[in-house]
Amino acid sequence: MTRTTRHPILNEIKTRFSNRALTEKEVPQEAYEAMVEAASFAPSSFNEQPWRFYIARGERKEKLLQTLTPMNQEWAIRADALVLTVSKQTFTMNGKPNPWHLSDAGCATGFFMLEAERRGLTAHPMAGFDQKAAREAMGVHEEFALVHVMAVGYPGDFDKLSERNQARNHPAPRKPIEEIML
């Protein structure tokens, strides 16, 4: 499925989708640094920048992989890294609850994913994981909410997916503008 738009928009927005077909090719460290740097430019309430990205490779990846649902483990095992995204739930300046931290972390994630797409990578966020086990595996302090786990890697190897995941591995249709612009 090729996405089309009514209006010219950034190409990476059109081409990005949550790809499950990954190769085991190593992603350079510099690419992770660039994706996190891109995320750092996202807007946030009071410039709090509450997001943190735990880049799990090697043994850390294996620990985090075990927290995923079996359906996600099936394909995410081929990712070069799993990235646990977390968000600080209080403001640093005064310790009060930050009601916008998840919105801010979502915006930063969007910047991270678009930079991944620009670099020819896939960054696929997942909600299918055990939060308690992931918190323990990565040593995340309680002041941070767990947002999601992203599989990051180079696209490919469609034939290694199960039939169910092959059927799901395509850009999903988008709602029409009229439905979301009120």
- The CATH code of the domain that includes 96 is 3.40.109.10
pLDDT for 110 beyond 90: yes
Distances in Å between the Cα of 27 and the Cα atoms of 20, 31, 137, 151 are 16, 7, 22, 12
> 9 lies in a domain?
no
Higher pLDDT, residue 165 or 97:
97
Higher pLDDT, residue 171 or 63:
63
> 170 lies in a domain?
no
Contact 131, 27 (CB under 8 A): no
Residue 111: domain span:
29-158
- At position 31, the amino acid (one-letter code) is A
Q: Which of 103, 109, 107 is nearest to 83 (CA)?
A: 109
Q: Residue 35: what pLDDT?
A: 98
Count of other CB atoms within 10 angstroms of residue 145: 17
> 24 lies in a domain?
no
- pLDDT confidence of 157, banded at 50, 70, 90? confident
> 83 lies in a domain?
yes
> 71 lies in a domain?
yes
- Quote the number of domains for the chain: 1
